[in-house]
Structure 1
Amino acid sequence: MSLLNNKVAIVTGAGSGIGRAVAESYAREGAKVIVSDINETHGEETVSLIKKAGGEAFFVKADSSSAEENKKLVDATVTKYGRLDIACNNAGIGGPAALTGEYDIAGWDKVIAINLSGVFYGCRYQLEQMEKNGGGVIVNMASIHGTVAAPMSVAYTAAKHGVVGLTKNIAAEYGQKNIRCNAVGPGYIHTPLLDDNLNEEQMKAVAAKATMNRLGKVEEIANLVVFLSSDQSSFTTGAYYIADGGYTTI
């Protein structure tokens, strides 16, 4: 099946984890993928994986917290392919851990800059181009913490709630312009970020937070993103899809 045949798609934060899985899945479904990341080595690795599997991709280094670099990313895409059909704004960070009353100001600024402002900057220029195309699809990566608290991570929680609100606003404004926008809220997913920061015992504790008693797989999130990016979800916009193994059901 080629759900995204000949579509042109940007994925930010595509150098690892969920972003890489989304980029690879887009390519498998026939899209030409623009892989973007702040880490050039990781981004080029994703491109290499896609090409080895027979897909088409190229890398653009960009800092998602910069409005200017988000614009350059879209410009590079249009220069290469002449259009932009799909964007998955995935880049994000966790930030420092502290009580709200003790939270580092610089840490707050950085998390908000990448996780919220960066998503807005991406959407700002993606929407501009999609209007020229006559339509498009945006999928913004939120989190379960776009609806529930993440104690000791106030900036992350605030940013992800903001991403959900941003997504709904875009859907309301652009529904009659053939542009859809949805958000995905992953729970705890097995990524290099968890491997680098948690030991085995902590990993089991995190997995136990889900009623399915396991961590999610990046492919499971990527499959949802592909669905929302394709015509199979053609009547879906402004929605916030949680994929958390049951974490938020209790």
Structure 2
Amino acid sequence: MSFALKGVAYITGAGSGIGQYTAYALAKQGVRSFALVDRNAVTTTVSELKKISPDVSIKEFALDVTNEEAINDSIDKTVKEFGRLDYAVNNAGIGGMLKTSDQIPTDDFTKVMAINTTAVWTCQRAQIRQMLKQEKLTDSYRSSRGSIVNVASMYGLVAPPLNVPATAYATSKHAVIGLTRSDALQFAHKGIRINAISPGYVLTPLVKETMAGEQMEAERVKVPIHRYSEIEEIGDCIAFLHSDAASYMVGATLVADGGYTIT
């Protein structure tokens, strides 16, 4: 399906995983201006984007998403470079320890919350402030002043199973969905669409690092379609949420988990 996306995209965690493949999906749908944010190099993402479309323009930001000043500065520089901000994807996140509340160290829980929740709020706040300053991208009733997608998780909807005690992670992703709904309600009438996506198990570097082989296989068989998601499938879902095809979706959480949460 073609969404014919135009405008400027800002993506955190763009150097790998879902952020990286979201950039590819947006480029395939027509986006040509990108602000790519990651604490690590985005070299591969940049080179692949240029293969998809040699005329892409890219602004790179090497920063920690918990640095509020750096985030605000990156939004300002994005707008200075491209004139506006149309599509924001708040994707950067970590898994944290697989431990229950009686076992998890305070510093690990705090770190997960800082990156997965507080940083999403910091990014979203800066994005909203910019989007409020700009007009709709087109005159269409489907158009908006900006669209934001926050990457949550199926563990933002259900508790993780006993064999995957991702307490801090699940707490942080539940909070992301709450943030998404709260701000979606506050800013929908001002022309800003905010939604979330809740992926299931995706074959990202983060999942491979966090879960052992036996855990991955045990969870795979619980998925009704009996496989993990490929990263590009989630990127396509995010592109859809940003598109005019999803113009009536506000405060929604798009679940892409192969049916895991309906079992």
Q: What's the TM-score once normalised by structure 2's chain length?
A: 0.90
**1:214 equivalent in structure 2:** 227
Q: Please show how residues 94-109 of structure 1 align to structure 2 within 5 Å.
A: 94-109=95-110
Distance 1:196 1:102, change over 3 A: closer
The one-letter amino acid paired with 2:44 is E
Looking at structure 2, the residues matched to 243 and 218 of structure 1 have their Cα atoms a distance apart, in angstroms, of 11
User: Out of 131, 142, 151, which is 2:152 matched to?
Assistant: 142
Deviation at 1:44, TM superposition (A): 2.1
Distance 1:197 1:162, change over 3 A: closer
Kindly indicate whether residue 245 of structure 2 is the aligned counterpart of residue 232 of structure 1.
Answer: yes
Distance 1:64 1:85, change over 3 A: same
Deviation at 1:242, TM superposition (A): 0.8
Deviation at 1:215, TM superposition (A): 0.3
Number of paired residues?
247
Looking at structure 2, the residues matched to 104 and 158 of structure 1 have their Cα atoms a distance apart, in angstroms, of 15
Q: Please show how residues 15-34 of structure 1 align to structure 2 within 5 Å.
A: 15-31=15-31, 32-34=33-35
Kindly indicate whether residue 13 of structure 2 is the aligned counterpart of residue 10 of structure 1.
Answer: no
**1:203 equivalent in structure 2:** 216
The one-letter amino acid paired with 2:47 is S
Deviation at 1:239, TM superposition (A): 0.4
Q: Report which structure shows greater RCO (CA 8 Å, sep ≥6).
A: 2
Deviation at 1:200, TM superposition (A): 4.7
Deviation at 1:143, TM superposition (A): 0.2
Consecutive unaligned residues in structure 1, runs of 5 or more: none
Looking at structure 1, the residues matched to 210 and 251 of structure 2 have their Cα atoms a distance apart, in angstroms, of 33
Distance 1:196 1:103, change over 3 A: closer
**Fraction of identical pairs, as percent:** 40
Q: For the Cα contact (< 8 Å) 2:3–2:245, is it kept in 1?
A: no
Deviation at 1:10, TM superposition (A): 0.5
The one-letter amino acid paired with 1:227 is F
**More deviation, 153-162/112-121:** 153-162
Q: Secondary structure at the match of 2:133?
A: helix
**1:67 equivalent in structure 2:** 68
The one-letter amino acid paired with 2:253 is Y
Looking at structure 2, the residues matched to 76 and 191 of structure 1 have their Cα atoms a distance apart, in angstroms, of 29
**2:140 equivalent in structure 1:** none
Deviation at 1:45, TM superposition (A): 1.7
Distance 1:198 1:158, change over 3 A: closer
Q: For the Cα contact (< 8 Å) 2:94–2:206, is it kept in 1?
A: no
Looking at structure 1, the residues matched to 79 and 87 of structure 2 have their Cα atoms a distance apart, in angstroms, of 12
User: Out of 162, 181, 184, which is 1:171 matched to?
Assistant: 184
Q: Secondary structure at the match of 1:133?
A: coil
Q: For the Cα contact (< 8 Å) 1:211–1:246, is it kept in 2?
A: yes
Looking at structure 1, the residues matched to 148 and 68 of structure 2 have their Cα atoms a distance apart, in angstroms, of 17
Deviation at 1:175, TM superposition (A): 0.8
Q: What's the TM-score once normalised by structure 1's chain length?
A: 0.94
Looking at structure 2, the residues matched to 92 and 166 of structure 1 have their Cα atoms a distance apart, in angstroms, of 15
The one-letter amino acid paired with 1:148 is V
Deviation at 1:65, TM superposition (A): 1.4
Deviation at 1:107, TM superposition (A): 0.3
Q: For the Cα contact (< 8 Å) 1:44–1:59, is it kept in 2?
A: no
Q: For the Cα contact (< 8 Å) 2:21–2:232, is it kept in 1?
A: yes
Q: For the Cα contact (< 8 Å) 2:3–2:240, is it kept in 1?
A: no
Deviation at 1:195, TM superposition (A): 3.4
- When the two chains are superposed, the root-mean-square deviation of aligned CA atoms in Å is 1.4
Deviation at 1:101, TM superposition (A): 1.4
> Alpha-carbon deviations, 1:70-127, whole Å to 9, x = none?
1112112112101101100000000112120121111011100000001000000000
Deviation at 1:58, TM superposition (A): 2.9
The one-letter amino acid paired with 1:35 is L
